[in-house]
Amino acid sequence: MARIQQALDLAVETTAEAFLRNPANYSDERSLAEDVRSRVCSVLPPAEVESVAVGESSGARGPVPDHEEYTARYRETTQIDRAQCEVGGSEFPFGASKRLDLGVFSDGISMSVIGGTQEFEPSDLASGLEFIRL
């Protein structure tokens, strides 16, 4: 856990320095989160996925012809990037509709795909970030 926190702290500090040098490279909070995510993933190995549950597909129409086949591929997932943007789930204290800007996972996570949206358990997070405007 200490290694995860060190990697996250360094990634945030490095992103902050890059932002101060040229804020025009960061159009919104998502670009900040993605920069931190990329830096964390470059130094930490992927998180091991212990279980995946796939619910109904979103039923969306579009260029992907068979959504059930697409979402079923989640069941084969054994690892994901250690850091992910827009992390949330129904068990989070702020509800399923709100998402953390960035989550960093421990190993052995459980992932659900509900209506085409990934959901996680709060206990699977080693750390999380929310960018706020001051």
Instruction: Break the chain into its structural domains and give their ranges.
Output: 2-129
* pLDDT for residue 38: 98
> What pTM was estimated for this model as a whole?
0.85
Report pLDDT for 55: 76
Inform me whether the pLDDT recorded for 54 exceeds 80.
Answer: yes
- Is the pLDDT reported for residue 62 higher than 70? no
Burial class (CB in 10 A: 0-12, 13-18, 19+), 88: buried
Q: What is the mean pLDDT of residues 104-130?
A: 90
For residue 96, report the phi and psi dihedrals to the nearest 5 degrees: -75, -20
Triad 96, 100, 102: Cα angle to 5°: 140
